[in-house]
Structure 1
Amino acid sequence: MCCAHDEVLDLPPAVIEMLAHYRRLRADQGWGWGEEEPPDLFRWARFGLLGPSITEYASTGDWAAAVRSAVAGRELPAGLAVVTVAADGTATARTGPSRPGIAGRPVPVDVLVLSAADRDLEVTVDGVGVPVPAGGVGLRTVDVDPAAPGVAVATGGSELGLLPVHLATPGSLRLVAPECARWSVTDPTGGPWGPAGRPAKWDALDRPYWHGADETIEVPAGPVHVVVCRGLEYERVTVDVVVAPGGHEEVRWSPVRRFDPGADGWRSGDLHVHLNYSGDHVLDPADAARMQAGEGLDLVQLAAGNLGGALVYDRELLEGTAGEPLWSGDHVGVAGLEFRNDLLGHLHALGHRSVPDVLHTGHEGTGQPWDWPPNAAACADLRERGGLPTYAHPSFSPLDDVAALYGPYRSVEARELVADAALGLVGALEVVSCADDRGAVVLWHHLLNCGLRPAATAGTDVFLSFAHGPGVASNPPGWGRVYARLDGAPLTVASFRDAVAAGRTVVTNGPWVTLTVDGAGPGAVLDRRPGDVLRVAATVAGSGVDRFVLHGPDGELAATDGTRLAVEVPVSAATWLTAAAYGGDDPHTLGAPVFASTSPVHVEVAGRRVARAASARWCLAALDGLAALAEAEGRFDPARREAQLGDLLDVVERARAFYRGVLADAPA
């Protein structure tokens, strides 16, 4: 699949009809198609100041106040109009700088309504009613034709005419790369420009982007800012050009590598990507293939899954291709399943050859409304079908306290992971994800300290059909990724799955990390005796790294602000070792602190695995939290509550027996 040609994939008839159905839903419902009640936050996904609003909301819990704070006392950006409705219903408006546009190319404009009225209102924006609660806020994103740029707003007490866009004279710009790449092209107001018909996308830093290799696009005459990159392995390059009215300019990109894992046999993957998931667009698998190629991503798993109701997005794609790649060669695509239970956790399984009978649980208004059967049953089912069960986005907090994982709400964190890992049902967890990587590391290290060996993997959970956020949801696939060492095997779904299962992985959202222990890399299991000395070498390449750390069961063994670690570690008992890089913001990392980690090298002594009492107690406390949460918040059939809850408590009790055994085996 070459992004320069946009070949049409040979899709099963059911998938073609699925896409047609989605387009009908999109035409009828607009944004949020496929959902009866899209999550409130998702309704604001196209809002240009979503990031600052979410930051404020996290500290106050008041969404209207958070939005007001994001626009108060600041010069508005282009593409935003703020309409303020007074208590008497009269309205005033202010707008950011007028955005240039070209006839026939609609320009998106956010019309934000702030109400001071003590009653609910409906404000008409461009002919569409926008409900605004008393004292609250409302939003409509209008696609404005620059040839007729006026936007009418009526509040009942006032009628306003906004002019947020003006018609500009076009020129043309050719953009050329040796391989498919990610381009961001903006005018001086930040307005995005790309090929007509290509899905409009913005990353977590509110930068527009699209993918292509050789494209000629129309742009407004004048200064144009171009940024080009290709995933994590290449340097970002910025170019400023001036396009004359009716003129033509050209930008050619010569990529420069930051690092080259492929030269050493490592292949990259993003195992948790959603193609269609409501939102702004309906996408064809070819769109995903183009994005994958433009990010230099070797393997992508497109996960079918429901959001809040019964519709399982891309189900027909999974059912029509299960067990076979969507495309193969230099890049491999495969359809998978995100099994979702919002109380117990979400999981997926690379490589399953058939489709489970149960695709989700615990969602009201669906055929599976109960938190039953336990996720353990889904893990076992996916494993029997050839998949590698993997828990997604494990924690939304840094997990300073185990209780943080078990708040009284359905937060989609990996709450049953501690139990299912103990029962041998889980092969990996997303150590790099859309959630808090610090919390994932805490959880992962506790499992490693109990002799369990889940591999580190990565899944971004990006929604390719979303133009804007929330958060990292509209980032490109592979902004966080797992590298798997295939040991000379050709790139296939099976070879990638086997490498992850063996722990031959490195996860990253920016830098590249290597680790050897006595010459062996991640996933290796070494047999040593007390008194032996392990010779450890680790390197990090890339940018944005503040600390480079060697971890073991008892915490940090060594750290540096440089790029290399060379350490001798004496052996007294079984251990494991990982190398990890930590940092803050970096241009190559989109919407998360810089982070990378290897999977461990495991060291056994006399056949014994690691056993740490503190981690066994932590996991036992986690199981107590899971049981208490299920009893208090679980949704079970009232006629079968005792039996259904009992199935989950049985999983918990069997896991308790495992961790009690670890506690008994742990050295004093």
Structure 2
Amino acid sequence: MIVRRCALFILFSLAANSAQAGREPVLKQVDLPHTYYWRELYIPQLTTGPSSLAFTPDGKALIYSMGGSLWRQAIGSDEAIELTHSTGAYDYQPDVAPDGQTVVFSRYAGDAIELWRLDLKTGREQALTTGGAVNVEPRVSPDGKRIVWVSTQGSGHFNLFIANLGAAGLQNAQPLIAERQSKISRYYYSSWDHSLNPSWSPDGKRVLYVSNAEIAWGTGDIWSVAADDPNDRHRVLSEETSWDARPETSPDGKLVLFTSYHGRQWRQLWVTTPEGSAPLPLTFGEFDRSNARWSPDGKRIAYVSNERGNTSLFVRDVAGGATTAVTAKSRRYRSAEGHLTLDIRDEQGRGVPARVVVLASDGRAAAPEDSWIHADDGFDRAIQKSETHYFHCPSVCTLDAPAGDTTIWVQRGFRYLPWRQKISLASGSERNIAVNLQRNDLPADFGSWRGADLHVHMNYGGHYRNTPENLARQARAEDLDAVYNLIVNKEERVPDVDYFRADPDPASGDGVLIMHSQEFHTSYWGHLGLLNLSDHLLTPDFSAYQHTALASPWPHNGVVADLAHAQGALVGYVHPFDWDIDPPKEKSLTNELPADVANGKVDYMEIVGFSDHKSTAQVWYRLLNLGFRIPAGAGTDAMANYASLRGPVGMNRVFLETGGDRSPAALKAALKQGRTFASNGPLLGFELDGKRPGDTVTKPTSRTLPYRVAMRSPVALDHLELVQNGKVLKTFSLTGDRRRLDASGEIPKDVGGWVLLRAWNDEADPEVLDIYPYATTSPIYLAVGGAPPATNDAAYFVTWLDRVIDDAANRSDYRTADEREATLAYLRKARDYYARRAGQRSQ
């Protein structure tokens, strides 16, 4: 994966054709790589189910976060009582003071996460931090006089802070652990160490936490530090954690409860001791249990589970394991509520699923109680207060929302126009809203297209537990025909490993095909998509993981491609480039793409994906100029069980011309042959001399080459262009709402090479949950005239591979000399090919 920009919360008064320039990541003040990991796996997220909890001091009730509010519910009762409901903000991570009078918690308001305190008797709320940092995981000391938490204040990194806690708020706030930079390199984590997941020892003298000093993979080990002497600290347990171990000592001081996935694919509850005795699992299951807390008497544990898919709350006896679900069957809201029902239908009046955003009068997202809320991963702060939160509606869905003006946005894939409406919801009312979607598809004579997302991760350590059946429901709501679930590791886990099969998943049907494929992870050579493996997953699922037992860069991607091709699979480069690659100026350059293309290993590229589409296309154009026929693919890289989803599923998709055939073989053949266009919104139709993308014009029918184009888009477009051999050949004038165009014309036939149609915007658009709208067809190839020389493009890749070869030659972690020499020989062979094309000497 590649560090990059992201997405938004819709301001519904904005005109639908307005492009925005200020799209930035959520919580941009955090100075850490790979936002899609720490934001989902560590930062609290909006869910309709519970997300974090604390016992009351008498052990009879829980105070927990749900739907962005804090709630109180007695164990054994079905009624939940809403304690907080802030306008335009969401509350998480409660911790009850020992006297039971107050609760500290974290509040997210779009620009920062601050600590607050609630007086349970008066309802008074008090801000404890105001610095604009990210402040999370507050824990009050056993005597109620101090607080420890995690903050990015002053550094942008997650560090432990401690302060005195009094009636006036915080006093003498300061870091508990000094900033430290590890000496080893880390790909998924900052070089600066972090400290997180704090909790107090029962006597209030020490703090348990998680830190990653000199650790390459995972969020680190469990440590203990004296609250009054930061130099008095020691490692409790060496453990590969992933953001949410959240160790907590039992009230008697004898056990440490924490969450772990050690040796498994899912997180369960484990126990060790303050001395770090060999840990043992306390719970089992192919799902997650997390955010666990001891009851005050140490006899029970409360935790959040995704066993049912969404998040749920349970209390479990330590001895015997008897479990009680804490379910809010009735809810006592702080504000007056109305009842809303949506009935979504297509152009023929048939009920269809769709993606829905409901922005209530309180400035917060509303959703049905049983739905999965997903949050976009960025927004334009000039027009929006927070990121978009959305859910998938099966066609008819009902929800409660605060009374007042309520805005609804419904969207279903790319072949329908977005639907918006603002209504007034009265207290105690029941509103039924008919949603009639308007079709905006390509003309039928441009072919029969099937939309596929080539890069989805069904489960990847997120809040929810996804299944093929639910993944298919997500796809249907996005009007997506096929999903390729790329099974892949998340550090030592491979969450979906048991789902692999060569044939379609049994959940396929009703217009959706689910295929389980693979992503091969090597952040050194570049990630690969391996589609349609016929026999088995390739294991290990990664290479070149420095500072691990699998540090060797062997097997390189060429070897992996051969293994995949032996199973009949297609091999593609996924989320390639996030900026324009200038080989001599790159700080480091190890991506193997040009070598694998020259050696005939690459079947497609994700031109539209989790990368910068225009930067990726520039590299693609250079390869096309050299005569390589590389089809345009697309994949969202959606972690489909995330609450903070980089998506939704199908946000980046490839359209495949299959003649109406929905079979895996037809989709595979269309991709391999380049009968595709890739898009995050615009639909493109392109014919040249009667040929379509993937075809070759060999015998022109006239002195010029006639073309015909069509464009349909759910959003206004800035640019629609014919591109020949990497240069703009024809620019079409877009007028009116800039969402439709049909045009025809002619181009000269005396230049060979390739031609494609592309559409793009200069800036972001709030109705496309990506960095900017973009679409491209695969090329139509021209075996006419003479193709222009591509010596500059060949020289570009010579320089590229010189950098790759230098870096690969200087590595000292190959397992054998044969691995090293085979790798370098493979790279030099490709380098020599480009050198000959550039008119240079081979090495």
* TM-score, reference length from structure 1: 0.74
In the alignment, the residues of structure 1 paired with residue 600 and residue 641 of structure 2 have an alpha-carbon distance, to the nearest angstrom, of: 35
1:189-268 matched pairs, under 5 angstroms:
189-204=362-377, 205=379, 206-212=387-393, 213-260=395-442, 264-268=447-451
Alignment of 1:184 with 2:365, yes or no, is no
Q: Give the CA RMSD over aligned residues.
A: 3.9
What residue ranges of structure 1 are gaps of 5+ in the alignment?
1-36, 51-74, 84-90, 99-108, 141-152
Alignment of 1:358 with 2:373, yes or no, is no
Q: Among 429, 437, 440, which residue is 2:605 paired with?
A: 429
Q: Among 568, 589, 612, which residue is 2:768 paired with?
A: 589
User: Which range is displaced more, 529-538 or 211-220?
Assistant: 529-538
Alignment of 1:336 with 2:517, yes or no, is yes
Matched residue SS, 1:476: coil
Alignment of 1:347 with 2:524, yes or no, is no
Is the 1:131–1:138 contact (alpha carbons within 8 Å) kept by the matching residues of 2?
Answer: no
Is the 1:362–1:371 contact (alpha carbons within 8 Å) kept by the matching residues of 2?
Answer: yes
Deviation at 1:123, TM superposition (A): 4.7
Is the 1:559–1:565 contact (alpha carbons within 8 Å) kept by the matching residues of 2?
Answer: no
Distance 1:610 1:126, change over 3 A: farther
In the alignment, the residues of structure 1 paired with residue 722 and residue 132 of structure 2 have an alpha-carbon distance, to the nearest angstrom, of: 55
Matched residue SS, 1:548: strand
Deviation at 1:121, TM superposition (A): 12
Deviation at 1:575, TM superposition (A): 1.2
Cα distance per residue 1:272-328 (max 9 Å; x no partner): 011111122222222211110000001111111113x2212211112xx23333413
In the alignment, the residues of structure 2 paired with residue 167 and residue 116 of structure 1 have an alpha-carbon distance, to the nearest angstrom, of: 27
Distance 1:378 1:497, change over 3 A: same
Q: Among 815, 818, 823, which residue is 1:643 paired with?
A: 818
Distance 1:176 1:618, change over 3 A: same
Q: Among 278, 285, 300, which residue is 2:468 paired with?
A: 285
Q: Among 583, 587, 591, which residue is 1:407 paired with?
A: 587
Quick one: which amino acid aligns to residue 217 of structure 1? L
Alignment of 1:131 with 2:150, yes or no, is yes
Matched residue SS, 2:407: strand
Q: Which residue does the alignment assign to 1:66?
A: none
Cα distance per residue 1:587-632 (max 9 Å; x no partner): 43113111111100011249x9775111111121221122123234
1:464-479 matched pairs, under 5 angstroms:
464-468=640-644, 473=646, 475-479=647-651
Distance 1:311 1:480, change over 3 A: same
Distance 1:310 1:93, change over 3 A: closer
Distance 1:168 1:272, change over 3 A: same
Q: Among 342, 349, 361, which residue is 1:175 paired with?
A: 342
Is the 2:87–2:363 contact (alpha carbons within 8 Å) kept by the matching residues of 1?
Answer: no
* TM-score, reference length from structure 2: 0.60
Deviation at 1:419, TM superposition (A): 0.8
Quick one: which amino acid aligns to residue 754 of structure 2? W
Q: Among 627, 631, 634, which residue is 1:455 paired with?
A: 631
User: Which range is displaced more, 371-380 or 357-366?
Assistant: 357-366
In the alignment, the residues of structure 2 paired with residue 192 and residue 154 of structure 1 have an alpha-carbon distance, to the nearest angstrom, of: 33
Alignment of 1:485 with 2:657, yes or no, is yes
Cα distance per residue 1:17-48 (max 9 Å; x no partner): xxxxxxxxxxxxxxxxxxxx996773334769
Distance 1:273 1:161, change over 3 A: farther
Quick one: which amino acid aligns to residue 353 of structure 1? S
Distance 1:573 1:82, change over 3 A: same
Quick one: which amino acid aligns to residue 359 of structure 2? T
Is the 2:675–2:692 contact (alpha carbons within 8 Å) kept by the matching residues of 1?
Answer: yes
Is the 1:398–1:437 contact (alpha carbons within 8 Å) kept by the matching residues of 2?
Answer: no
Q: Which residue does the alignment assign to 1:521?
A: 692
Is the 1:113–1:138 contact (alpha carbons within 8 Å) kept by the matching residues of 2?
Answer: no
Q: Among 830, 839, 842, which residue is 1:655 paired with?
A: 830
Q: Which residue does the alignment assign to 1:5?
A: none
Alignment of 1:42 with 2:219, yes or no, is no
In the alignment, the residues of structure 2 paired with residue 95 and residue 468 of structure 1 have an alpha-carbon distance, to the nearest angstrom, of: 14
Cα distance per residue 1:374-400 (max 9 Å; x no partner): 11111111112121101001101033x
Deviation at 1:523, TM superposition (A): 0.3
Cα distance per residue 1:188-229 (max 9 Å; x no partner): 233222222322211244211111211122223333221111
Is the 1:604–1:610 contact (alpha carbons within 8 Å) kept by the matching residues of 2?
Answer: no
Distance 1:130 1:494, change over 3 A: farther
Q: Which residue does the alignment assign to 2:90?
A: 79
Deviation at 1:126, TM superposition (A): 11
In the alignment, the residues of structure 2 paired with residue 133 and residue 577 of structure 1 have an alpha-carbon distance, to the nearest angstrom, of: 49
Deviation at 1:530, TM superposition (A): 13
In the alignment, the residues of structure 2 paired with residue 549 and residue 622 of structure 1 have an alpha-carbon distance, to the nearest angstrom, of: 29
Alignment of 1:602 with 2:781, yes or no, is yes
Deviation at 1:93, TM superposition (A): 10
Cα distance per residue 1:630-666 (max 9 Å; x no partner): 234x4723x52x433322212212212332443459x
Deviation at 1:137, TM superposition (A): 5.9
Q: Which residue does the alignment assign to 2:315?
A: none
Distance 1:546 1:560, change over 3 A: same
Deviation at 1:372, TM superposition (A): 1.0
Is the 1:310–1:366 contact (alpha carbons within 8 Å) kept by the matching residues of 2?
Answer: no
Is the 2:371–2:391 contact (alpha carbons within 8 Å) kept by the matching residues of 1?
Answer: yes
1:108-127 matched pairs, under 5 angstroms:
123-124=138-139
Deviation at 1:552, TM superposition (A): 1.3
1:358-397 matched pairs, under 5 angstroms:
358-364=540-546, 368-397=550-579
Is the 1:124–1:154 contact (alpha carbons within 8 Å) kept by the matching residues of 2?
Answer: no
Is the 1:448–1:610 contact (alpha carbons within 8 Å) kept by the matching residues of 2?
Answer: no
Distance 1:539 1:249, change over 3 A: same
In the alignment, the residues of structure 1 paired with residue 642 and residue 839 of structure 2 have an alpha-carbon distance, to the nearest angstrom, of: 50
User: Which range is displaced more, 513-522 or 648-657?
Assistant: 648-657
Matched residue SS, 1:589: coil
Distance 1:609 1:347, change over 3 A: farther
Deviation at 1:532, TM superposition (A): 4.9
Q: Which residue does the alignment assign to 1:149?
A: none
Distance 1:593 1:527, change over 3 A: same
Q: Which residue does the alignment assign to 1:502?
A: 673
In the alignment, the residues of structure 1 paired with residue 366 and residue 519 of structure 2 have an alpha-carbon distance, to the nearest angstrom, of: 33
Matched residue SS, 2:352: strand
Quick one: which amino acid aligns to residue 442 of structure 1? Q
Deviation at 1:169, TM superposition (A): 3.2
Quick one: which amino acid aligns to residue 169 of structure 1? A
Q: Which has the higher helix share?
A: 1
What residue ranges of structure 2 are gaps of 5+ in the alignment?
1-31, 47-85, 95-103, 115-124, 171-331, 345-350, 380-386, 735-740
Is the 1:574–1:609 contact (alpha carbons within 8 Å) kept by the matching residues of 2?
Answer: yes
Q: Among 783, 793, 803, which residue is 1:625 paired with?
A: 803
In the alignment, the residues of structure 1 paired with residue 504 and residue 693 of structure 2 have an alpha-carbon distance, to the nearest angstrom, of: 28
Is the 1:577–1:600 contact (alpha carbons within 8 Å) kept by the matching residues of 2?
Answer: yes
Quick one: which amino acid aligns to residue 325 of structure 1? D
Deviation at 1:417, TM superposition (A): 1.1
Is the 2:442–2:710 contact (alpha carbons within 8 Å) kept by the matching residues of 1?
Answer: no
Alignment of 1:578 with 2:756, yes or no, is yes
In the alignment, the residues of structure 1 paired with residue 333 and residue 164 of structure 2 have an alpha-carbon distance, to the nearest angstrom, of: 27
Matched residue SS, 1:491: coil
Identity %, equivalent residues: 24
Is the 1:80–1:112 contact (alpha carbons within 8 Å) kept by the matching residues of 2?
Answer: no
Matched residue SS, 2:436: coil
Cα distance per residue 1:531-552 (max 9 Å; x no partner): 9532223232223311211111
Is the 2:404–2:426 contact (alpha carbons within 8 Å) kept by the matching residues of 1?
Answer: yes
Is the 2:605–2:631 contact (alpha carbons within 8 Å) kept by the matching residues of 1?
Answer: yes
Distance 1:439 1:304, change over 3 A: same
Distance 1:609 1:425, change over 3 A: farther
In the alignment, the residues of structure 2 paired with residue 514 and residue 497 of structure 1 have an alpha-carbon distance, to the nearest angstrom, of: 20
Matched residue SS, 2:698: strand
Matched residue SS, 2:805: helix
Q: Among 710, 713, 722, which residue is 1:550 paired with?
A: 722
Q: Which residue does the alignment assign to 1:420?
A: 596
Matched residue SS, 2:521: strand
Deviation at 1:459, TM superposition (A): 0.6
